Amino acid sequence: MAYFLGIDVSTTSSKALIIDDSGGVIAVASSPHSLQTPKPLWSEQDPQEWWTAVCACIRSALDQAHILRDSIEAIGLTGQMHGLVLLDDAGNVLRPAILWNDQRTQDQCEEIHQKIGREKFIQITGNVALTGFTAPKILWVKENEPEVFERARHVLLPKDYIRFKLTGEYAMDKADGAGTVLFDLRKRDWSDEVLNILGIPRSWMPRTFEGTEFTGSITEQAAALTGLSVGTMVAAGGGDQAAGAVGMGAVETGVVSLTVGTSGVVFATTPSALIEPQGRLHAFCHAVPGMWHFMGVMLSAAGSLQWFHDTLASKTSFDDLVKEAEDIPAGSEGLQFLPYLSGERTPYPDPLARGAFIGLTLRHSRAHMTRAVLEGVSFGLKDSFTLIQNAGLGTITQVRASGGGTKSQLWRQILASVLNTELVTVNTSEGGAYGAALLAGVGAGAWSDISTACRDCIKISGNTNPDPGQVETYQKAYSIYQSLYPSLQKQFINLNTLT
């Protein structure tokens, strides 16, 4: 039997997952990371800590699996997107990695739009410049740490630093490459025009590969540290969202992945490089060769419920808190919640947006507020669905739901009714690491293509249909929800002056 290893370098930990050639998970191990915030709005990590964690969890997974290390036929990589790792000519790390959730680069985002033109930048890269992306981070280093910039010779993303440590090769997949916003989206490779205008040397950017292509093999040094065999092939893989979509089977047009974790992500595969005209959706290359995807991101999805629980109901279990809301009618009797507790990204790229309860009366109880939180997050996710449909994707045939928020039957029902579509769950729950392992398996020939791998390994495990009695109520409530941010946007700015 052949086995495939998926490695996920997330923000909080590294994970190693081993599957067999039928898609069954036989071992999972993880090792935590620490996070540094040396200044307000900064978010950094030490790449060496990732490497130490990866080595530890690979060894642990191999021990659990009780298989010969030669049985691992191929390895796939995934991890947190957009983070900047700068290396010198010898491959040494020059400074801590600047992560996806770092917010220091707003001035550089405006600089990018000014130098290239906002509309032109959207048409080339498929996106507006946001603080989370890699390109403005490079400019920040150039302008604030010129001595580091002068020594830089290689730009990598977090998982691609691990690739370098495993194989000695500088390489990147096309999905994560597009997420730097230095890509020509349609050409699926670096944009010489964008790089030239921003003064970023083309020689710093690694060669890019489709998700199933091999980028190198395990070196002797890496084998000694991980327990893997010298020469084991390493596939390109994909950024966490693209690989996670593979792990959910969201690899064909019309099948949408909905993740309700701390943040919320709506992911839709597209057959061509579609672009939302105003850049309100992320448009990236998919880890599936020759495919692209739209992605809408809300920053506080299940995180909104976490905040509500911790702040107002910390002595009540989540299950009991949500159960209280089951008896509240759809629409929460006129109470609405704006889930902008961390600012927002889609459809409003606004770091100053703020959360709010609107419509409170003496009649409203904690149960009403809980349900309003669940409904408000669902409306926020519907914003992304609406943009995706209006941007040319067409009919959404199925929504595959995952993440901690979708474990709640009530929340799944609210989501199905708000979106007015069937929600299904699947038999896999390991997300990006599982998708990375499948990408490696396809590269090794275990499956003919990604669609076949997903059909063979990923099965529907449950479904939730819209409640006809709730759909009309939610359509009316959503219309009101859509009007709230535009009405409050100026006041959000004013409120920020008080802090």
Q: Provide CB contacts within 8 A for 127, sequence distance 6+.
A: 121, 133, 181, 279, 282, 283, 284
Written as one string, the DSSP assignment of 186-255 is TTTEE-HHHHHHHT--GGGSPEEE-TTSEEEE--HHHHHHH-PPTT-EEE----HHHHHHHHHT--STTE
129 three-class SS: coil
Q: Provide CB contacts within 8 A for 137, sequence distance 6+.
A: 82, 84, 98, 102, 105, 108
Percentage helix, strand, coil, to 5, in the chain? 45, 20, 35
Cα-Cα end-to-end distance for the chain: 60
79: alpha, beta or left? (left if phi > 0; alpha if psi -120 to 50): left
Q: Provide CB contacts within 8 A for 427, sequence distance 6+.
A: 458, 459, 460, 461
From 20, 240, 310, 383, the catalytic residue: 240
366 three-class SS: helix
Residue among 468, 326, 436 nearest 58 (CA): 436
Identity (one letter) of the amino acid at 118?
A: R
Is-contact 124 117, C-beta < 8 A?
Answer: no
Is-contact 413 44, C-beta < 8 A?
Answer: no
> How many angstroms separate the CA atoms of 317 and 222, rounded?
44
Q: What are 186's two structure tokens?
A: 């349609």
Active site residue 46: no
Beta-carbon neighbour count of residue 110 at 10 Å?
A: 13
Which DSSP helix (H) or strand (E) runs through 63? helix 47-65
90 three-class SS: coil
> How many angstroms separate the CA atoms of 216 and 167, rounded?
6
Is-contact 109 351, C-beta < 8 A?
Answer: no
Is-contact 291 272, C-beta < 8 A?
Answer: no
Scored b (16 or more CB within 10 A) or e, 53-88 reads: bbbbbbbbbbeebebebeebbbbbbbbbbbbbbbbe
Residue among 451, 384, 371 nearest 419 (CA): 384
Indicate the pairing of strand 398-402 with strand 255-260.
parallel
- Residues identified as active-site: 240
